[in-house]
Amino acid sequence: MIPLRLKVDTDAIDPYVVRLRSFEGMPQPPDNCGFLDAALETADGETALFAGATGNLRVFGVDPSELDGDIVFVVPSRKTAHRLIRASSPHNTLLITERCDQLCVMCSQPPKKQHVNMFPFFETAVLLAPENSTIGLSGGEPTLFKSELFDFLRETMARRHDIDFHILTNAQHFGRADLAELRDLDLSRILWGVPVYSSAGAIHDQIVGKQGAFEQVRKNLSVLCEAGARIELRTVLMKPNAPGLLDLAKFVAVTLPFTDTWAIMQLENIGYGRQNWGSLFFDSSLGFDLVGKALDFAVSRGINTKLYNFPLCTVPADYRVFAPSTISDWKRAYVADCADCDLRTECGGFFEWHPKAHGYGRFGVA
């Protein structure tokens, strides 16, 4: 797995954000090496020393060529640096908060009570990001800090016209009072990822652990629609909601036709998902008819429907076109049976933490 947390040593005292530049193959750093850049000074195979206006930063255990252009958040007191934005990756997500007002049964990032305001550091990171980046914002629930989020988006989007955002939110905290602020943003550059798990309110509420959540998300999706927002509906496939997937497809087509994308997602085995795996994991390789009927209906009604996190060999051949590689590179893995698979270059594989006994009854049949 690609490391996102690095062991470092620095002569700084306070936390800071810096962009690392290895400039390998160049006799000296170019003129555009900025104030928030740290250039490689020396490397010996075990450590790499970067130096810049923010001071010296020694990084352990990573080839400096793999860090060129990466934007890191350095915490001197802990001797760690977090790779906020990896220049070589299209999969960069900033964790806005670990607080959340829902308690989803499969949550991959179980909520915590504490919150650290990282917006100033994240703003610096976005301003240093590679050109034409799409940056994810996640939690917890980012809109628990809605005012700060809007300020952050307004500032970074005004200064970086080439940056897009993909924001994951439970959409519980929008209202008509937010219409003006939403419309003040360039909403063509933001995709809001909103979970809807069932067309039956009781099932959705049970999955997210919050009574009334379904009615609230319905109402607030209409607010986002009225504002002109782009919306990606996200449905994690599980035993509790799999039988009603076709009903959900009909609900999306009739009630939420303004949806840009409907993503049906396989379960992730981490956090509460791991804790509840036995009662939640739905073997879509053997029960694909439930997925296929829902997908067929949605597509026939003009809904752009995708299958996220589905290994290609677990999907019938005619439906593989709907299953792009979606697992982020830093947490993607393949099992031993994948070694000689003809589909591997197109397949997103598994999450690094997926059980070695992968659980699919139909697997490895191309």
pLDDT score of 69 more than 90: yes
User: CA 257 to CA 271: how far, in whole Å?
Assistant: 32
Express each pLDDT in 196-206 by its tens digit.
Answer: 999 999 999 99
User: CA 262 to CA 20: how far, in whole Å?
Assistant: 37
pLDDT at res. 80: 98
Helix (H, G, I), strand (E, B) or coil at 319: helix
pLDDT bracket for residue 308 (50, 70, 90):
very high
Token duo for residue 269: 């085995």
pTM: 0.94
pLDDT bracket for residue 356 (50, 70, 90):
confident
pLDDT score of 225 more than 50: yes
pLDDT bracket for residue 340 (50, 70, 90):
confident
pLDDT score of 171 more than 80: yes
pLDDT bracket for residue 337 (50, 70, 90):
confident
pLDDT at res. 33: 64
Express each pLDDT in 15-64 by its tens digit.
Answer: 999 999 987 544 455 555 678 999 999 999 889 999 999 899 999 999 99
User: CA 86 to CA 71: how far, in whole Å?
Assistant: 7
Percent of the chain with pLDDT over 70: 97
pLDDT at res. 309: 97
pLDDT at res. 24: 56
CB 82 within 8 A of CB 5: yes
Token duo for residue 267: 């379960």
pLDDT score of 142 more than 70: yes
User: CA 180 to CA 188: how far, in whole Å?
Assistant: 15
Q: Which residues contact 134 (CB under 8 A, 6 or more apart)?
A: 90, 163, 164, 165, 166
Express each pLDDT in 232-253 by its tens digit.
Answer: 999 999 999 999 999 999 999 9
Express each pLDDT in 257-289 by its tens digit.
Answer: 999 999 999 999 999 999 999 999 999 999 999
pLDDT at res. 25: 47
User: CA 87 to CA 69: how far, in whole Å?
Assistant: 5
CB 148 within 8 A of CB 117: yes
In the chain, the domains with their CATH numbers are: 5-85 (no CATH), 92-351 (3.20.20.70)
Token duo for residue 24: 């390998």
Measured from the Cβ of residue 349, the count of other Cβ atoms closer than 10 Å reads 20
Closest CA to 169 of 228, 102, 84: 102
Measured from the Cβ of residue 124, the count of other Cβ atoms closer than 10 Å reads 19
